[in-house]
Amino acid sequence: MKKVLILCTGNSCRSIIAEALINAKLDGIEADSSGVKASGRVNPYAKKLLEEKGIWKNTYHSKVLDEVLDNSYDLIVTVCDHANETCPMFPKPSPKLHVGFEDPDGKGYEAFKETYKEIEERLLPKLKKVLSGDNTIQEQ
């Protein structure tokens, strides 16, 4: 089982959506998510969307880095520019990948549906490729 950390700023929308999509749709890959400045809440539209898609788990919540810092990951994925620029060093070095998505927070429900679709279409195939060894990534 490959372990992936999805990292963004607030850990309320994009990273939670990505975590749920990976856990639901990619066999052999398990995802966690966290925020460099975690908001402490999951955006209600993100939760609603994941519930409608049937992939919401009550264990999903906005996490601070301290909750995941000591975990080992095969890959750390940043999904926003701020997280990419401020990604902390982890005690156990992990390869890092950046695939940015626009933040739907503060926008209507349609923006969340679009973000979900983009993550599913852009991030999931890239993760499969990278974690199968088809693509080189930089070491953190």
Listed by start position, the domains of the chain span 2-139
| pLDDT of res. 139 | 39
Query: Is 87 a residue of the active site?
Result: yes
In sequence order, which residues have a C-beta less than 8 Å from that of residue 69 and are 6 or more positions away? Answer: 88, 90, 91
Query: Is 8 a residue of the active site?
Result: yes
- Quote the pTM value: 0.91
pLDDT in tens, the chain (140 residues): 999 999 998 999 999 999 999 999 999 999 999 998 889 999 999 999 999 999 999 999 999 988 998 899 999 999 988 777 776 667 677 898 999 999 999 999 999 999 999 999 999 999 999 998 765 554 33
In sequence order, which residues have a C-beta less than 8 Å from that of residue 1 and are 6 or more positions away? Answer: 28, 29, 30
| pLDDT of res. 140 | 36
| pLDDT of res. 83 | 72
Query: Is 13 a residue of the active site?
Result: no
Element spanning 138, H or E: strand 138-139
Q: Which one is catalytic: 18, 83, 87, 131?
A: 87
Contact 36, 63 (CB under 8 A): no
Fold classified for 2-139:
Rossmann fold (3.40.50)
Tell me which amino acid residue 125 is.
Answer: P
| pLDDT of res. 134 | 65
Q: Which one is catalytic: 4, 5, 8, 83?
A: 8
Look up residue 14 and give its two tokens: 């994009």
| pLDDT of res. 60 | 96
